[in-house]
Chain A
Amino acid sequence: MKKYLQIFKISFAQEFAYKVNFIMWRVRNVVQILLAYFLWSAVFEDPQITIFGYDQSKILTYIFAVILIRSLVFSARSVDVPQEISEGSFSNYLIRPVEYFRYWFTRDLSSKALNFAFSLLEFAILVIIFKPPLFFQENLLFLTLFLLTILIANYLIFVIRFIVTSITFWVAELGWGGQFLIMVIITEFLSGSIFPLDIFPELWQKVFYLTPFPYLLFFPLQIYLGKIPLNLAMNGILISLFWCLTLSFVLKNVWQKGLKIYEAVGR
């Protein structure tokens, strides 16, 4: 446990080694939120209207909460792993006395901690500037379930990312391509981080809910906003736990097979 705490501290310090890099990354996040904010403000020009089950305060809470949840769930250092596998520097870890997934989970946590701290600051600044009408959930049960779903989302995205990363064992040049297609395009859209998924027809939403992606961001936010009744919330939590177990099993098997064919090309 102590060594993972050290890994956390070192990784946290490393984030500050590339300050401009990090600040620019945060700027990019804010620009994306601004796009969503202005778009939905235009849609909800009349504050009395309700569209897709959202009133003005709930949709703006959704947009502003995305900035916080994205930093908590999507931030990760393990995005570098595909490159390490394709370059062969992955071999260095095989001889170290650390459990590989725990090592990267710890590094991801340090990245999340830093990004979350900055996103809180951005959130505060944007709220002061735009003064949006925000919705605050007061029901303790829903708040507890919301926090639980955030924990599940963190585990789920870690497993999904490493399954996608495993492709690099077989097709080295697909390291970044796989991340781009699954983590950047599909995960971002189907998690609801670009726009809420309930603008889609009901049948589409039912299909989306059968995949693991909405449980990364959209589902936790639906619970926070109180848009899902308790029985459906529990149902969703069970489905997300099912995905955690299934994908963990898939990852374990795929990773073991990948390790067997890994040839440390480039070393």
Chain B
Amino acid sequence: MMNIKYILPALSHNWTFLVFLIGKIIRFLFFGGFIYFLLNGTKTLAGYDFNQAILFYLTFFLIDTTSQFLFREVYRFRSYIISGSFDLILIKPISPLFRVLMGGADAIDLITLPPLIYLIFHFGSLLDPTILHSTFYILLVVNGLLLSTAFHITVLALGIITLEIDHTVMIFRDLQSLARFPIDIYKQPLQGILTYVLPIGLMMTIPAKALMGLINLTGVLASFGFGILALFISLKFWNFALKKYTSASG
């Protein structure tokens, strides 16, 4: 209900809504066009053909867009902390974490999701995946969203402690953009860091690899274990940060 309450006002600013929607579509098409023309010239990228490279890109976009849709409120959290209005959220009979994490969905991202899912279905089916690999893909996309949730909770907790939430979230998004392409293109130790330290590879590259049949059940379970652990740690960190909140601006 709370998400719906915030979606409707966003739709009412027609001009702004339209401009941002067009901007997001153009950006999507530019990068898609770039991959198309690049692979037209090179034929493969780190051993992946066009259909595979585009699946990596679409999977990145799916998880990024879904996270933006669900967690847009995180980008507004700093003003709550600085103005002290976070106090008003804390006294309401609703989980404050839910309120500041998912309290303001982004309608623009919601609109872009259905065509994106169609494209994933289209390009995914060109790779002839088995039912098992398709199931792995769906499970690992869910795991990617779990990791994204853990990250956004960590950013909120850091926001309480440091007040520097805007930069943290934008730098993460820049790092996340490294997963537009399979993380195999990066050399070690960066590839290892992107897989296990900042688990961008687990979030975005591994699901697409699973659909290609390159990840086995052990890999899926290990990824899920990592995702659940990350979520658990982020919740602990949130509880720790809440205890440090001093309501200094309120």
- Quick one: which of A15-63 are within 8 Å of B by CB? 20-21, 24, 27-28, 31-32, 34-35, 38-39, 41-43, 51-52
Residues of B in contact with A, size category: 20 to 34
Cβ-based interface call for A181 (8 A): yes
Write out, one digit per residue, whether chain B residues 1-34 have a CB within 8 A of any chain A CB (1) or not (0). 0000000000001011001101100110010011
Inter-chain CA distance A252–B182, complex, in Å, is: 47
Inter-chain CA distance A219–B45, complex, in Å, is: 27
Q: Which of B36-44, B71-79, B234-242 contacts A (4 or more CB under 8 A)?
A: B36-44
Q: Are B15 and A171 in contact (CB under 8 A)?
A: yes
Which B residues are CB-close (under 8 A) to A174?
15-16, 19
Instruction: State how many angstroms separate the Cβ of A129 from the closest Cβ of chain B.
Output: 11
Instruction: State how many angstroms separate the Cβ of B79 from the closest Cβ of chain A.
Output: 15
Inter-chain CA distance A174–B16, complex, in Å, is: 6
Q: Are B34 and A194 in contact (CB under 8 A)?
A: yes
Cβ-based interface call for A201 (8 A): yes
Which A residues are CB-close (under 8 A) to B37?
199-201
Instruction: State how many angstroms separate the Cβ of A188 from the closest Cβ of chain B.
Output: 9
Cβ-based interface call for A173 (8 A): yes
Please give me the residue from chain A that is nearest to B174 by CB atom.
A31
Q: Are B41 and A39 in contact (CB under 8 A)?
A: no
Write out, one digit per residue, whether chain B residues 238-250 have a CB within 8 A of any chain A CB (1) or not (0). 0000000000000
Instruction: State how many angstroms separate the Cβ of B116 from the closest Cβ of chain A.
Output: 18
**Would you call the interface of chain B mostly helix, strand, loop, or mixed?**
helix
Inter-chain CA distance A220–B170, complex, in Å, is: 30
Inter-chain CA distance A199–B38, complex, in Å, is: 6
Cβ-based interface call for A178 (8 A): yes
Inter-chain CA distance A20–B41, complex, in Å, is: 41
Write out, one digit per residue, whether chain B residues 188-200 have a CB within 8 A of any chain A CB (1) or not (0). 0010000000000
Inter-chain CA distance A199–B23, complex, in Å, is: 22
Inter-chain CA distance A32–B33, complex, in Å, is: 19
Which B residues are CB-close (under 8 A) to A171?
15
Name the contact of A184 in the complex, choosing from B23, B41, B167 (C-beta under 8 A). B23
Cβ-based interface call for A189 (8 A): yes
Cβ-based interface call for B177 (8 A): yes
Instruction: State how many angstroms separate the Cβ of B47 from the closest Cβ of chain A.
Output: 9
Instruction: State how many angstroms separate the Cβ of A105 from the closest Cβ of chain B.
Output: 26
- Quick one: which of A183-201 are within 8 Å of B by CB? 184-186, 189, 194-195, 199-201
Q: Are B174 and A51 in contact (CB under 8 A)?
A: no
Instruction: Tell me whether A186 and B181 are in contact in the complex, defined as CB-CB below 8 angstroms, given that A177-B19, A199-B41 are known contacts.
Output: no
Inter-chain CA distance A200–B38, complex, in Å, is: 8
Please give me the residue from chain A that is nearest to B42 by CB atom.
A43
Q: Are B27 and A185 in contact (CB under 8 A)?
A: yes
Name the contact of A195 in the complex, choosing from B19, B34, B171 (C-beta under 8 A). B34
Q: Are A181 and B19 in contact (CB under 8 A)?
A: yes
Q: Are A180 and B19 in contact (CB under 8 A)?
A: yes
Name the contact of A28 in the complex, choosing from B13, B42, B45, B174 (C-beta under 8 A). B174
Instruction: Tell me whether A43 and B19 are in contact in the complex, defined as CB-CB below 8 angstroms, given that A20-B164, A195-B34 are known contacts.
Output: no
Instruction: Tell me whether A39 and B181 are in contact in the complex, defined as CB-CB below 8 angstroms, given that A173-B16, A177-B20 are known contacts.
Output: yes
Which A residues are CB-close (under 8 A) to B42?
43, 51
Inter-chain CA distance A21–B19, complex, in Å, is: 27
Inter-chain CA distance A35–B175, complex, in Å, is: 9
- Quick one: which of B130-185 are within 8 Å of A by CB? 164, 167, 170-171, 174-175, 177-178, 180-181, 184-185
Cβ-based interface call for B187 (8 A): yes
Instruction: State how many angstroms separate the Cβ of B177 from the closest Cβ of chain A.
Output: 6
Cβ-based interface call for B127 (8 A): no
Instruction: State how many angstroms separate the Cβ of B33 from the closest Cβ of chain A.
Output: 8
Which B residues are CB-close (under 8 A) to A195?
34, 38
Q: Are A20 and B167 in contact (CB under 8 A)?
A: yes
Instruction: State how many angstroms separate the Cβ of A235 from the closest Cβ of chain B.
Output: 25
Instruction: State how many angstroms separate the Cβ of A20 from the closest Cβ of chain B.
Output: 6
Which A residues are CB-close (under 8 A) to B187?
38, 41
Instruction: State how many angstroms separate the Cβ of B198 from the closest Cβ of chain A.
Output: 11
Show 20 A/B contacts (Cβ-Cβ < 8 Å), sorted by A. A28-B171, A28-B174, A35-B177, A38-B178, A38-B190, A41-B185, A41-B187, A42-B184, A43-B45, A51-B41, A51-B42, A173-B15, A174-B19, A177-B23, A180-B19, A180-B20, A185-B23, A185-B30, A186-B26, A189-B30
Interface residues of A (CB under 8 A from B): 20-21, 24, 27-28, 31-32, 34-35, 38-39, 41-43, 51-52, 171, 173-174, 177-178, 180-181, 184-186, 189, 194-195, 199-201
Contacts A41-B187, A177-B16 aside, 20 further interface pairs with beta carbons under 8 A come to: A24-B167, A27-B171, A28-B170, A31-B175, A31-B178, A32-B177, A38-B186, A39-B181, A51-B41, A52-B41, A174-B16, A178-B19, A181-B20, A181-B22, A181-B26, A184-B23, A194-B34, A195-B38, A199-B34, A199-B38
